[in-house]
Amino acid sequence: MCLYIKPTSRERDYSKSFISFFSIHLSGSMSSTKLGCLLLIFFSATLISHTTSRFLPKSSSYESHEQWMARYGRVYRDVEEKEQRSKIFQENIKYIESSNSVMNKGYKLAINAFADLTNEEFTSTRNRFKAHECSPSTFSFRYENVTAVPSSMDWRKKGAVTPIKDQGQCGCCWAFSAVAAMEGITQLKTGKLVSLSEQELVDCDTSGQDQGCEGGLMDDAFDFILSNKGLTTESNYPYKGVDGTCNNNEESNHAATITGHEDVPANSESALLKAVASQPISVAIDASGSDFQFYSSGVFTGACGTELDHGVTAVGYGTSADGTKYWLVKNSWGTSWGQEGYIMMQRDVDAKEGLCGIAMMASYPTA
């Protein structure tokens, strides 16, 4: 049984020219049967080569993008946008495959829900942490005198971490980071894990640096929660992913409170270790690279700077099977990103700021 691939008109013209050439130059030196066999073999190989190069990569690329669209429910406005996104999708695939081909790299990248976005598009809508001046050296750090910490910590296993959430295309990472830290200290104080409202911060905490989807910072979120005398639950004030008008009725329906907040001494992973051993901690990182966009598994050791642009929550630490120390970080990009929404970031690096600046601006609520 043979597979017939219909040739194009160009390929048919090419075959006619080829047959004519061989008929003129070789007919006198070999039998028609041998000539026919030679022509058949050569033309078949040429046709398959031309057809394969013309169809398979394009078809494969098209099909992979179609499959990705179906999986993530992506719909485009028109054909032009679809073609543009398909090109970006293919470029991202090439980047991921190139990165994963590097030997002895301890982490892997993978296609996820953000595969049709350029890195600039991705970071501009999600990474809106507003860096600020470091606190003076005279501030209080309640874990300063901690002398012994466990070799590993995972606050998820202790019931102090709510399921992964998804901020969508709203740049309120700061709200998710602050809320996750508050959910943790509330559980440690009361024994009850309650999912609290990021949307309340997005809608109501707008008088200072925090500006909803346009960005903010965790310390200011803690200040708002303190002055507001608490925060309501996510079920009372559900997340919408857009800036809205403050719902004063729900805002006053407090489900959890804090007594204040403190900063972890800057540029000290040892101080951060003491803090994370004691409770989930809000941290800021530089998450601007493509490796971060497509991180999938392993201990992240990739190149990144210290231009802090994203708020996340350190919910543990440990050591991998190959001896690499890491921070366990909860993100707010949904479960399709990373390790079901989490990332392990290399710990105890040479730079005092920590990998991606994780030790530069850490803070936590008190209760």
Q: For residues 19 and 276, what is the distance between their CA atoms, to the nearest angstrom?
A: 76
Q: Within 10 A of 259 (CB to CB), how many other CB atoms are there?
A: 10
Can 310 be counted among the known catalytic residues?
A: yes
Contact at 8 Å (CB) between 287 and 123?
yes
Alpha helices in 106-217 (DSSP H): 119-126, 173-190, 198-204
Q: Within 10 A of 338 (CB to CB), how many other CB atoms are there?
A: 24
Can 25 be counted among the known catalytic residues?
A: no
Can 173 be counted among the known catalytic residues?
A: yes
Task: Name the DSSP letter for residue 233.
Answer: B
Among 92, 261, 310, 356, the active-site one is 310
Contact at 8 Å (CB) between 59 and 76?
no
Task: Name the DSSP letter for residue 217.
Answer: -
Which residues does residue 346 pair with via DSSP β-bridges, in sequence order? 326
Burial class (CB in 10 A: 0-12, 13-18, 19+), 80: exposed
Among 173, 213, 304, 356, the active-site one is 173
Q: For residues 30 and 27, what is the distance between their CA atoms, to the nearest angstrom?
A: 6
Q: For residues 109 and 104, what is the distance between their CA atoms, to the nearest angstrom?
A: 14
Q: What is the CA angle 161-164-165, rounded to 5? A: 120
Q: For residues 143 and 140, what is the distance between their CA atoms, to the nearest angstrom?
A: 9
Question: Which run of H or E residues covers position 315?
Answer: strand 310-319
Among 127, 170, 331, 356, the active-site one is 331
Q: For residues 215 and 129, what is the distance between their CA atoms, to the nearest angstrom?
A: 6
Q: Looking at the annotation, which residues are catalytic?
A: 173, 310, 331
